[in-house]
Amino acid sequence: MPDRPDTPDADPTDAGLPLLRAAVARLAPVLPMLGELGDRFAAAGHELALVGGPVRDAFLGRVSPDLDLTTDARPDEILAVAAGWADAHWDIGRDFGTIGLRKGSHVIEVTTYRADTYDRTSRKPEVMFGESLEGDLVRRDFTANAMAIRLPSLEFVDVHGGLPDLVRQRLTTPAAPEESFADDPLRMMRAARFAAQLGFEVAPEVAAAMTERAGTLSMISAERVRDEFTKLLLSQRPRLGLRLLVDTGLADVFLPELPALRLELDEHHRHKDVYEHSLIVLEQAIDLEGPADGPEESVPGPDLVLRLAALLHDIGKPATRRFEDGGGVSFHHHELVGAKLVGKRLKAMRFDKETTKAVARLVELHLRFHGYGDGQWTDSAVRRYVTDAGPLLTRLHRLTRSDCTTRNVRKAQRLARAYDDLEQRIGRLAEQEELARIRPELDGNEIAAALGIRPGPVLGKAYDYLLSVRLDDGPIGPDAAREKLLAWWAARESER
């Protein structure tokens, strides 16, 4: 954050003026346009202010894609003022007081001052229009989002101390947090998300209110909770937000498998902390993502599938933990149990089928590599590894590498060398064969003709048999494949 004091004890007001100047400088490209619109509203006897995210981001040294404005004008009056100035408009949010405008390449949303009241049993707001900017700001979620710049005067309005909180990197609420979260429980998820996105600390009273009211998150739809969680997970510092979700009990409401990873250590400390391990794996997976504009094989970040798989890869461990007679602890088949749990949980959170299936598959496969530790896999095993991973192979590479969190340097180096060797073998085989598109050497029509059968379940079994031949033996040619198929068919018929 630019011009931030070097010590947390610095007076935030000392940093306010240079920060304000820097913020205005960052907004300079859009201020002439916004000033024009402000002049039109003023001429019509109305107020107008830039508010919320774009103001906050300007102070943080970031360029916001959003231009959110607020006004005392009602929707019809907004449309009247913008007529002849905006290139286009839409009023899909009219019932909530929002009118969308387009000016050149810029999209602007203008919303009438709000003074919502909530039915706290259903979290459905009754939209009431407000009369003042100050009244509008107090209903916003956090002080960092309750700052405004009046237009066209550029007067900075910060009645709730958002700028000092930005300087201190602290999240607080304009109103009492328990009241704010009672109005809208989703704001608790937003607190965790902003902690992750901004790297801010949540004020103690805010964390206390989140803990007290965590159960009320159940009133919010799964889709809205999922969207906030996704934004958190795709942030630069998801650990901060995830810890907040777990520590306050919010995660227990929508993702109980995550806090369940905090397994109690036995007196001999025979296994590592699975919760901490999972957070480290997530961070290491993020480090292995490619640049946002990188090629697909680099897994451009932020990648939701990889991050979900990294966070949840061990959620099968609590259900499979066993203490062995010899003093050890085991988690047999936790990857299979975990894959089923992931599928159920992501479905309940309303993630799409493709994402759910991909994450569950990665969780199922994340231990497969450890059978390669001695480097003695056959070419057939390598082919099966690639085929089973399919289009998820590049993510599986990164997940598997991230899963090494041992402090034993020699062990870590040995695992890294083994995976290097596996990737090299995959590369060599890929040069010789089309590993990503392995198919039987006879297609469905050729199999049907050779066996004299029609399409159906039997043809599917024959196809699967020839695919296993291809994986085990590599390319042997259509004639040899046909001979093996006929031998398989003869053996099958003799058993009937």
Q: What is the pLDDT of residues 179-194, one digit of tens each?
A: 999 989 999 999 999 9
Q: What's residue 64's pLDDT?
A: 81
pLDDT exceeds cutoff 90 at 271: no
Mean pLDDT of 359-375: 84
pLDDT exceeds cutoff 50 at 123: yes
Beta strand pairing status for 156-157 and 148-150? Answer: antiparallel
Q: What's residue 270's pLDDT?
A: 47
Mean pLDDT of 205-220: 97
pLDDT exceeds cutoff 90 at 269: no
Q: What's residue 327's pLDDT?
A: 65
Q: What's residue 307's pLDDT?
A: 98
Q: What's residue 203's pLDDT?
A: 97
Give the amino acid at 336.
L
Q: What's residue 331's pLDDT?
A: 84
Question: Which fold does the domain 169-254 belong to in CATH?
Answer: Hydrophobic Seed Protein (1.10.110)
Residues 6 or more apart whose CB falls under 8 angstroms from that of 299 comprise 288, 289, 290, 306, 394, 395, 398
pLDDT exceeds cutoff 60 at 492: yes
Distance CA 394, CA 35 (A): 49
pLDDT tens for 277-290 read 999 999 999 999 99
Residues 6 or more apart whose CB falls under 8 angstroms from that of 181 comprise 187, 188, 209, 210, 213, 216
Of the listed ranges 64-73, 172-181, 184-193, 462-471, the one predicted with least confidence: 462-471
Cα torsion for 266, 270, 273, 277, to the nearest 10°?
-170
User: Band of the pLDDT at 268, cuts 50, 70, 90?
Assistant: very low
pLDDT tens for 141-176 read 999 999 999 999 999 999 999 999 999 999 999 999
pLDDT exceeds cutoff 90 at 312: yes
User: Band of the pLDDT at 496, cuts 50, 70, 90?
Assistant: low
Q: What's residue 23's pLDDT?
A: 87
pLDDT exceeds cutoff 90 at 209: yes
In the structure encoding, which two tokens stand for residue 350, read together? 């309303």
pLDDT exceeds cutoff 90 at 258: yes
Rounded to 5 degrees, what angle do the CA atoms 204, 206, 211 make?
A: 95
Mean pLDDT of 421-447: 80
User: Band of the pLDDT at 436, cuts 50, 70, 90?
Assistant: low
Taking residue 431's Cβ as centre, other Cβ atoms within 10 Å add up to 9
Contact 277, 265 (CB under 8 A): no
Q: What's residue 377's pLDDT?
A: 82
Residues 6 or more apart whose CB falls under 8 angstroms from that of 289 comprise 298, 299, 300, 301, 302, 303, 306, 398
Q: Assign domain 263-437 to a CATH class.
A: mainly alpha
pLDDT exceeds cutoff 60 at 480: yes
Looking at the domain that runs over 1-168, which CATH code has it been given? 3.30.460.10
Q: What's residue 375's pLDDT?
A: 57
In the structure encoding, which two tokens stand for residue 75, read together? 């929707």
Mean pLDDT of 109-129: 73
Distance CA 137, CA 155 (A): 15
pLDDT exceeds cutoff 80 at 388: yes
Q: What's residue 267's pLDDT?
A: 41
Distance CA 348, CA 342 (A): 10
In the structure encoding, which two tokens stand for residue 363, read together? 């969780």
Beta strand pairing status for 68-71 and 88-90? Answer: unpaired
User: Band of the pLDDT at 427, cuts 50, 70, 90?
Assistant: confident
Distance CA 69, CA 112 (A): 9
Domain boundaries, the chain: 1-168, 169-254, 263-437, 444-494
Q: What's residue 433's pLDDT?
A: 63
Q: What's residue 95's pLDDT?
A: 86
pLDDT tens for 106-117 read 999 999 998 756
Contact 48, 29 (CB under 8 A): no
Q: Pick from 150, 253, 141: which is nearest to 206 by CA?
A: 141
In what side-by-side order are the strands of the sheet with 68-71?
88-90, 98-103, 106-112, 68-71, 48-51, 148-150, 156-157
How many Cα neighbours within 13 Å face the side chain of 132?
Answer: 5
User: Band of the pLDDT at 441, cuts 50, 70, 90?
Assistant: confident
User: Band of the pLDDT at 8, cuts 50, 70, 90?
Assistant: very low
User: Can you tell me whether residue 111 is helix, strand or coil?
Assistant: strand
- % of the chain exceeding 90 in pLDDT: 60
Q: What's residue 324's pLDDT?
A: 74
Mean pLDDT of the residues in the chain: 88
pLDDT exceeds cutoff 60 at 5: no
Mean pLDDT of 37-62: 95
Q: What's residue 426's pLDDT?
A: 85
Mean pLDDT of 116-138: 75
3-state helix, strand, coil in the chain (%, to 5): 55, 10, 35
